[in-house]
């Protein structure tokens, strides 16, 4: 082994059949490897083979291991992932596999190294999006690619090579379904945009596999709850208006708020002020709204008669309004909170009729839930918290943090052709500039 390249000689000797002549003295090439050059595998893979005494992974003394052919097929089908098989030398791999089937030790060694290099590169590209698609509110909530050596070490430790390949290529169930649908769609190729499919596969790659997660697709305004490979949903949700778009964001839900206040955004506070000018200050009491002196924790209530409603309505003066908990509260009975600088969260919503609409881009950026109790049961594993009396803003921590991914998928699995193309509701596709994303504290 020298530098980034690994000689085929040692691998060829180990891959030779049991009755082959002894390998040549140390430092001399194995005769069977003479017709093959050195394979640039990089230091990480070279260290993997050095640590195992150059023992092969994909081949044995008598030929190619069955799992290796499975890995070659997966690379050849990389187009189903929206990836280019040529990037991994798929044609060269097929030729090397055909040669290795003849049992020549040099051909076996050559195939071994080509496949290790190709498969680890494929797994890296599979696990991590080619383009940034989700803003990470927490740095470790996004996907990560295992180092090449770690990929091969996991394969070597797996009970079977085929099982190890399944583990290495396993993705989140939404991506898996989209990949299968793309395979069907590519076989038929009846209609649609291939570049658009690739972009959506890339976005779906931003959702790591394993464990529990919540996925909100803002394009279709739907939510899924994922536990390993089990999926619950979809649940209809309401997302941001076209001019206050729900962002593409990854964070973790960590706690819920029972009996929440609704802190009314400034633009809606101005609307309330204009209504007060038309209907009188009794509107504030009828809507169960509090007027507060400022935005500090020590803010004090002030009477409606003390407010210059004309100044608030015109925007010359700001005013803090919040709606008390209750049946008409826009937050409903529960908010699901996660860290992010935009103040985005998920919450209950009292007017269930809005969820029947096809176009559910109605909020100021946060995600309204059609069935918040269902999500609470799922998060708390069947026993959702109950408020202790009527006190507002009761915080309850989740049993464990759960990642949440707000994504944007204009292509989903399903339909007679394998894929369903959705409207580009936020005009983010094909190079169009998106309208500003929401940065709000309340819906």
Structural domain harbouring 191: 173-260+331-421
Closest CA to 313 of 259, 272, 356, 348: 272
Segment 127-141 mean pLDDT:
88
Question: 203: Cβ–Cβ under 8 A, 6 or more apart, which residues?
Answer: 129, 133, 134, 248, 407, 408, 409
**438 has a pLDDT exceeding 50:** no
* Residue showing tokens 């195939």: 111
Helix then strand count (H, E) for the chain reads 13, 19
What pLDDT does 327 receive?
A: 82
Query: Global pTM?
Result: 0.86
Q: Domain ends where: 118, 147, 169?
A: 169
Number of domains in the chain: 3
Report the C-alpha gap between 177 and 191 in whole angstroms: 19
Structure tokens at 315: 């925007």
**Rounded CA gap, 353 and 362, in Å?**
13
Query: Residue written as tokens 């394969």?
Result: 155
Please give the residue that has the higher pLDDT: either 4 or 351.
351
Looking at the DSSP assignment, which residues form a beta bridge with residue 290? 322
Residue 33 confidence (pLDDT) above 50: no
The yes-or-no verdict on residue 45 having pLDDT over 50 is yes
The last residue of a domain, from among 323, 356, 371: 323
Burial class for 348, CB neighbours closer than 10 Å (0-12, 13-18, 19+): buried
CATH of residue 219's domain is: 2.40.440.10
**Residue 434 is encoded by which pair of tokens?**
């998106």
- pLDDT for 330 beyond 50: yes
Q: How confident is the model at residue 192 (pLDDT cuts 50, 70, 90)?
A: confident
- How far apart are alpha carbons 273 and 318 in whole angstroms? 10
Using the predicted structure, report yes or no on whether residue 157 has a pLDDT greater than 90: yes
Q: At which of 307, 323, 339 does a domain end? A: 323
In a domain, 426, yes or no: no
Residue 389 domain-assigned (yes or no): yes
Task: Give the Cα separation of 47 and 229 in Å (integer).
Answer: 34
In a domain, 11, yes or no: yes
Segment 77-94, tens digit of pLDDT = 999 999 999 999 999 999
Both tokens of residue 234? 């979809």
Residues 221 and 234: their CA atoms lie apart, in Å, by 10
pLDDT > 70? residue 379: yes
What local confidence, expressed as pLDDT, does residue 105 receive? 87
């Amino acid at each position: 082994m020298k530098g980034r390249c690994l000689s085929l000689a040692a691998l060829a000797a180990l891959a030779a059949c049991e009755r082959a002549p002894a390998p040549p003295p140390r430092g001399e090439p194995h005769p069977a490897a003479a017709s093959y050059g050195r394979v640039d595998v990089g230091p990480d893979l070279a260290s993997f083979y050095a640590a195992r005494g150059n023992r092969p992974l994909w081949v044995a003394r008598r030929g190619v291991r069955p799992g290796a052919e499975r890995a070659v097929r997966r690379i050849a089908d990389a187009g189903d992932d929206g990836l280019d098989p040529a990037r991994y030398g798929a044609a060269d791999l097929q030729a090397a596999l055909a040669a290795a089937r003849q049992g020549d030790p040099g051909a076996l060694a050559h195939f071994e190294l080509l496949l290790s290099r190709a498969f680890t590169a494929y797994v890296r590209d599979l696990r991590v999006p080619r383009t940034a698609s989700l803003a990470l509110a927490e740095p470790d909530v996004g996907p990560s690619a295992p180092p090449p050596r770690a990929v091969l070490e996991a394969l070597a430790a797996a009970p079977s090579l085929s099982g190890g390949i399944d583990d290495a290529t396993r993705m989140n169930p939404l991506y898996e379904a989209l990949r299968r649908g793309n395979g069907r769609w590519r076989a038929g190729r009846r209609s649609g945009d291939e570049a658009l499919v690739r972009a959506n596969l890339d976005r779906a790659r931003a959702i790591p596999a394993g464990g529990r997660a919540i996925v909100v697709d803002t394009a279709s305004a739907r939510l899924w709850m994922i536990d390993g490979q089990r999926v619950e949903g979809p649940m209809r949700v309401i997302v941001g208006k076209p001019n206050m778009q729900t962002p593409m964001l990854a964070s973790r839900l960590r706690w819920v708020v029972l009996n929440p206040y609704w802190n009314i955004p400034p633009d809606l506070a101005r609307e309330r002020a204009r209504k007060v000018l038309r209907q009188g200050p009794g509107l504030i009491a009828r809507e169960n709204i509090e007027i507060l002196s400022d935005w500090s924790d020590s803010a004090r209530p002030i009477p409606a008669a003390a407010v210059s409603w004309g100044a608030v309505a015109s925007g010359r003066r700001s005013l803090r309004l919040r709606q008390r908990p209750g049946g008409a509260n826009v937050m409903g009975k529960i908010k699901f909170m996660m860290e992010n600088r935009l103040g985005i969260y998920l919450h209950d919503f009292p007017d269930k009729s809005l969820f029947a609409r096809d176009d559910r881009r109605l909020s100021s950026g946060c995600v309204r839930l059609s069935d918040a109790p269902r999500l609470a049961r799922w998060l708390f594993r069947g026993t959702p918290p109950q408020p202790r009396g009527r006190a507002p803003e009761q915080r309850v921590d989740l049993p464990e943090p759960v990642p949440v991914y707000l994504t944007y998928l204009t292509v989903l699995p399903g339909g007679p052709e394998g894929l369903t193309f959705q409207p580009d509701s936020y005009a983010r596709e094909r190079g169009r500039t998106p309208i500003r994303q929401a940065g709000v504290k309340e819906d």
